[in-house]
């Protein structure tokens, strides 16, 4: 399958300009295999706004754009179903997958975090959770991180006051404590690897800024390349953002790059959206036929940039 044309370049306004997408794809391929995680990104970004159920053949067609073998895809789908993320339905000889009820709460939380993040106001107070008996080392740990809590030491979790406590920590001892900005920054620095998160944001900016510049020159990707670029964009952004506790500015370094990364992601996303939706129109299939048109949630994404 030819992804980028014979030369990997596109002609517009009488010039030849090379697309940066092959470099983004090459970088993705050099990383450890995360087929299941990429499928989750595809579901949340592209399939959920169109009903949430899709034919396995559509998934195979998309992942073929990355030269991911069909056997690898089927194995990943089986694992996602076993882990409670997806449910399989059969219609004749075809298999369709939809989000499982057991995974929907975490899925919805992740979508809200990516497209409509909320930064808790800083009023000089922190929420502390004390979780004993190693309970924070199990599945609850991931949910606490996704909810915006960090752990400065085993069994102790912290977030700015007002951060919603996930149900998995319902039995924890909860303390509401005051903290100066300096003390708050010190505790936050122990709870999260802020330097690593900042570096991850900077790497995202370095990877995708050339694509933004290329698209700003009125270049256009084909529908196949647009859906590929869109999903890789959100996949990489989501990986960074889900590590970010979305702390108030008063607790962060002055040069924190999250806002620049969000603006870049949103502008690229909006530029890719029309062409990428054309690919879903052409190749997307549900049990009832073509994928339905996207709902209004799609048009509301990144509207705050």
**CB neighbour list of residue 64: distance below 8 Å, 6 or more residues apart:** 1, 70
Give me the pLDDT at residue 219, please.
78
Nearest to 276 by CA among 225, 235, 242, 241: 225
Q: What is d(CA 270, CA 50) in angstroms, rounded to the nearest whole number?
A: 17
- Report the pLDDT value the prediction gives residue 133, as an integer from 0 to 100: 62
In 3D space, the residue among 98, 94, 39, 99 whose CA is nearest the CA of residue 72 turns out to be: 39
Contact between 294 and 50 under an 8 Å Cβ cutoff? The reply is yes
Packed helices 70-82 and 35-42: angle between N→C axes, nearest 10 degrees: 70
How high is the pLDDT of residue 6? 32
The answer to whether 302 touches 269, Cβ cutoff 8 Å, is yes
pLDDT tens for 291-305 read 999 999 898 999 888
Q: Is the pTM for the entire model greater than 0.75?
A: yes
Helix (H) or strand (E) holding 17: strand 15-18
Q: Which residue has the higher pLDDT, 12 or 241?
A: 241
pLDDT at 7: 32
Place of tokens 């979790």: 157
Predicted confidence (pLDDT) per residue in 88-139, tens digit? 999 888 999 998 887 777 778 778 889 988 887 888 888 899 887 655 455 6
Q: Percent of the chain beyond pLDDT 90?
A: 54
Handedness of CA 2, 236, 34, 300 (dihedral sign): negative
Looking up tokens 């959100």, which residue turns up?
Answer: 234
Q: What is the DSSP code (8-state) at residue 67?
A: T
* Interatomic CA distance for residues 137 and 155, integer angstroms: 9
CA distances from 154 to 127, 129, 144, 151 (A): 16, 11, 13, 7
CA–CA dist 160, 183 (Å, integer): 12
Query: So what's the pLDDT on residue 95?
Result: 95
Task: Give the pLDDT of residue 283.
Answer: 96
Q: Cβ(89)–Cβ(53) under 8 Å? A: yes
Query: Which CATH topology does 1-120+194-305 take?
Result: Arc Repressor Mutant, subunit A (1.10.10)
Q: Could you read off the pLDDT of 25-62 as tens digits, one per residue?
A: 999 999 887 899 999 999 999 999 999 999 999 999 99
pLDDT confidence of residue 154: 86
Beta bridge pairs of residue 52: none
Buried residues in 162-175 as b, exposed as e (16+ CB within 10 A): ebebbebbeebeee
Considering only CA atoms, give the Rg of the chain: 21
- Three-state SS for 15? strand
Q: Report pLDDT digits (tens) over 260-271.
A: 999 999 999 999
What digits encode the pLDDT tens for the residues 178-226? 888 788 888 888 999 999 999 999 999 999 999 999 999 877 899 999 9
For residue 131 the two structure tokens come to 């979780």
Residue 148: partners with Cβ closer than 8 Å, 6 or more residues away: 120, 159, 163, 164, 245, 246
Q: Return the residue matching tokens 């949630």.
A: 297
How much is the pLDDT for 139? 63
Longest dimension (CA), the chain: 67
Q: Between these two residues, 140 and 150, which has the higher pLDDT value?
A: 150
Return the pLDDT at 17.
63
């Amino acid at each position: 399958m030819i992804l980028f044309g014979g030369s990997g370049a596109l002609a517009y306004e009488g010039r030849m300009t090379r697309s940066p997408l092959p470099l983004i794809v090459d970088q993705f391929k050099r990383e450890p295999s995360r087929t299941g995680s990429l499928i989750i990104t595809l579901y949340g970004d592209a399939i959920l706004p169109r009903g949430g159920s899709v034919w396995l053949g559509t998934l195979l067609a998309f992942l073929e754009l990355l030269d991911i073998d069909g056997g690898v895809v089927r194995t990943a789908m089986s694992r996602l179903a076993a882990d409670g993320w997806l449910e399989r339905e059969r219609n004749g000889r075809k298999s369709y997958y939809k989000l499982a009820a057991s995974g929907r709460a975490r899925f919805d939380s992740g979508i809200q975090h990516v497209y409509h993040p909320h930064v808790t106001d800083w009023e000089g107070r922190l929420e502390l959770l004390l979780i004993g008996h190693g309970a924070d080392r199990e599945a609850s740990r991931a949910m606490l991180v996704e909810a915006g809590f960090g752990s400065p030491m085993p069994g102790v979790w912290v977030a700015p006051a007002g951060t919603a406590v996930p149900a998995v920590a319902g039995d924890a001892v909860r303390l509401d404590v005051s903290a100066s900005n300096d003390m708050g920054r010190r505790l936050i620095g122990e709870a999260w690897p802020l330097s690593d998160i900042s570096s991850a944001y900077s790497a995202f900016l370095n990877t995708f800024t050339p694509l933004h510049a290329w698209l700003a020159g009125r270049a256009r990707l084909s529908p196949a390349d647009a859906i590929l670029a869109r999903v890789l964009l959100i996949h990489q952004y989501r990986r960074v953002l889900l590590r970010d506790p979305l702390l108030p500015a008063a607790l962060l370094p002055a040069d924190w790059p999250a806002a620049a990364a969000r603006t870049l992601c949103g502008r690229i996303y909006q530029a890719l959206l029309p062409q990428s939706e054309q690919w879903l129109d052409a190749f997307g299939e549900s049990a009832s036929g073509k994928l339905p048109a996207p709902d209004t949630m799609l048009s509301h994404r990144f509207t705050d940039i």
